[in-house]
Structure 1
Amino acid sequence: MAIKTVSIIGLGALGVLYGHHLTQKIPKEDLRIIADAHRIERYQKDKIYCNQALVDFNYVTPETPCAPSDLVIFAFKHKDLDDAIKAVKHQIGEHTIFLSTLNGITSEREIGEYYGMEKMLYCVAQGMDALKIGNALTYTNKGILCFGDIEVGHLSEKTIEVAKFFESVALPYEVEKNMKHRMWGKFMTNVGVNQTIAYYEGDFSMIQRDGPERDMMIAAMREVMSIAQKEGVHLTEKDLIYWLKILDRLNPKGRPSTRQDMEARRTSEVELFAGTVISLGKKHQIKTPINQKLYDRIKYFESLF
């Protein structure tokens, strides 16, 4: 079944970025932004901007009855996942497909357990340098949505249909036939770059040059590599180099989400990053001193809010 209607829940950086792209490619009524009435009122009052352009979204509350969406995109922080899963119930039909752009390695399973794994594709958002301050998003690199089936080498009808749709709307994408490997690579990268820049209170430029910041980031990533091996994922030096090259192409003045959280005095995803690494390290009896150091520092920052 061809994809026509899309629902997005979450107007963080990725929700605005991809939502703005789609507003220019499909009819307004075919793109729904799911939000509660209070948020919608705020969005309509303050407006939403993407690279200085005003974005005219079609807002729908979770309670609004409507025909099912063909594609539902989750685009917010992991801590809000439970509420978001329930908020999209009126968007779901027999053939609805889910994509999650959330960080970490668990959101697909959590969504699938609620609505059925047969609706779920695995997804990684990579290569974007979106910076959202208040109601305004700016970016230099749009990045890509990399998606596919969890079964290695499998290419389902869902994956084919999403690829056709993204092709039709000129949304940058890549179909991946080993999504577990790709997701762990992105997790490794987030653990390194997000937390290191938050630790040093800087921007992408500090990890794009040789020095203690880049060294710390790579050391944190290597701890993930060791754990991934125990979890059945073979991350290699080739993978490390691949992700470092992606980071080196980002806007030097940009900042990752954890650093943005610190600046906005919001609780970060440190539990999802270092917290997960430390927990899995204990499980597999692997020492994770760098992630412990990052965890302690970021939790200290948060204690000051």
Structure 2
Amino acid sequence: MSIKKVSIIGLGALGIMYGQHFSQKLPKENVRIIADKKRIEKYQTEGVFCNGERCEFHFVTPDEHVEPADLLIFTVKFNGLEEAIQSVKHHVGEHTIIISALNGIISEEMIGQVYGFEKVLYCVAQGMDAVKIDNKLTFEHKGMLVFGDRKPGILSEKTKRLSEFFKSVELPHQVDTNMPHRIWGKFMLNVGVNQTVAVYNSNYGEVQNEGEARNTMIAAMREVIAISDKAGVPLTEDDLNYWLDVLDTLSPEGKPSMAQDVDAKRLSEVELFAGTVLKLGKKYGIDTPVNKMLYEKIKEIESEYVY
């Protein structure tokens, strides 16, 4: 059963990037961007732009009854995930494949509890340097989607079907047969780079070069390594070096999502990063002073926002 209809919820950086990619490869009506009526009106009035090109998206509201999607992609922020899960109910059918490009280590669990884990493939978006300011997205590197089955060592028909689809639409991707390990590795990177760049009010370049910011980032990542062993998905220094190599491929002028949130005075996903590390550290009796410092500094930054 081939993938023909794609639905996406969440028109942030990744939603725009993937929405534009699929819209250029598939019939426009087969790529559906799910959004409420107010957001749709704003998108249509102000436009949505990807590398200077206006995106001609096909929008649908959550209430519209549509044919179920063959592929459903979540690209919302974590604080909007619960609402998004309820908003996609008309897009989920018996054969729908669901992937989440969210940061963190729990979105697949939340989605699977509602729609069934048999529909969910684990996924990580890595290597992109997309920056979204207002309604305009720019990027140099599209990165890739890495995905696979929930249980290690399995290569299911769903995974094969999704890989064939991504090949057909020329979307960079990779299949991984140990996705829990990959997700924890990406979580480790995000805990380090997202929070450090936000606190230091800088960009990827600052943490790609030796100095205080890079040392802080790596120290925060090592706290995740300490926790991962207790959590049953052990990471090593080799994993840390792998993700640092991924970081080095990004444009030095680019910024991760949390730094973009700080620039725009939006509440960040700090609870998803340091918040999770602090909770797990307490659970397993592991000290996490660097993440505690980052958590407190980001909360302090956010407390100064004026709306």
Alignment correspondent of 1:106 = 106
Question: In the TM superposition, what whole-angstrom CA distance separates every residue of 1:157-196 from its partner, at most 9, and x where no partner exists?
Answer: 1101100000000000000000000000000000000000
Measured after TM superposition, the shift of residue 31 of structure 1 is 0.2
Alignment correspondent of 2:47 = 47
Matched, 1:161 2:187: no
Q: TM-score, normalised by structure 1?
A: 0.99
Identity over aligned pairs, percent = 58
3-state SS of the aligned residue for 2:183? helix
Measured after TM superposition, the shift of residue 66 of structure 1 is 1.0
Aligned-residue RMSD, C-alpha: 0.5
Measured after TM superposition, the shift of residue 63 of structure 1 is 0.6
Measured after TM superposition, the shift of residue 87 of structure 1 is 0.6
Question: In the TM superposition, what whole-angstrom CA distance separates every residue of 1:283-305 from its partner, at most 9, and x where no partner exists?
Answer: 11100000000000000000001
Question: In the TM superposition, what whole-angstrom CA distance separates every residue of 1:113-154 from its partner, at most 9, and x where no partner exists?
Answer: 001111000000000010000000000110000000011110
Alignment correspondent of 2:229 = 229
CA distance in 2, matches of 1:273, 1:150: 21
Letter in 2 for 1:61: T
Measured after TM superposition, the shift of residue 255 of structure 1 is 0.5
Letter in 2 for 1:267: L
3-state SS of the aligned residue for 1:127? strand
CA distance in 1, matches of 2:7, 2:216: 39
Which runs of structure 2 are paired with 1:191-202 in the superposition (5 Å)? 191-202=191-202
Measured after TM superposition, the shift of residue 249 of structure 1 is 1.1
CA distance in 1, matches of 2:237, 2:112: 32
CA distance in 1, matches of 2:248, 2:94: 42
Alignment correspondent of 1:126 = 126
CA distance in 2, matches of 1:184, 1:91: 28
Aligned residue pair count: 305
CA distance in 2, matches of 1:234, 1:139: 32
Letter in 1 for 2:172: P
Alignment correspondent of 1:76 = 76
Alignment correspondent of 2:205 = 205
CA distance in 2, matches of 1:68, 1:152: 28
CA distance in 1, matches of 2:285, 2:92: 42
Matched, 1:273 2:273: yes
Measured after TM superposition, the shift of residue 281 of structure 1 is 0.4
Alignment correspondent of 1:88 = 88
Q: TM-score, normalised by structure 2?
A: 0.99
Alignment correspondent of 1:38 = 38
Alignment correspondent of 1:294 = 294
3-state SS of the aligned residue for 2:72? strand
3-state SS of the aligned residue for 1:143? strand
Measured after TM superposition, the shift of residue 229 of structure 1 is 0.5
Structure 2, unmatched stretches of 5+, are: none
Question: In the TM superposition, what whole-angstrom CA distance separates every residue of 1:27-62 from its partner, at most 9, and x where no partner exists?
Answer: 001100000000000000010000001110000001
Letter in 1 for 2:279: S
Alignment correspondent of 2:140 = 140
Letter in 2 for 1:252: P
Alignment correspondent of 2:284 = 284
CA distance in 2, matches of 1:299, 1:25: 42
Letter in 1 for 2:294: L
3-state SS of the aligned residue for 2:142? coil
CA distance in 1, matches of 2:103, 2:282: 22
CA distance in 2, matches of 1:143, 1:10: 18
Alignment correspondent of 1:14 = 14
Measured after TM superposition, the shift of residue 23 of structure 1 is 1.1
Matched, 1:57 2:57: yes
CA distance in 2, matches of 1:233, 1:87: 32
Structure 1, unmatched stretches of 5+, are: none
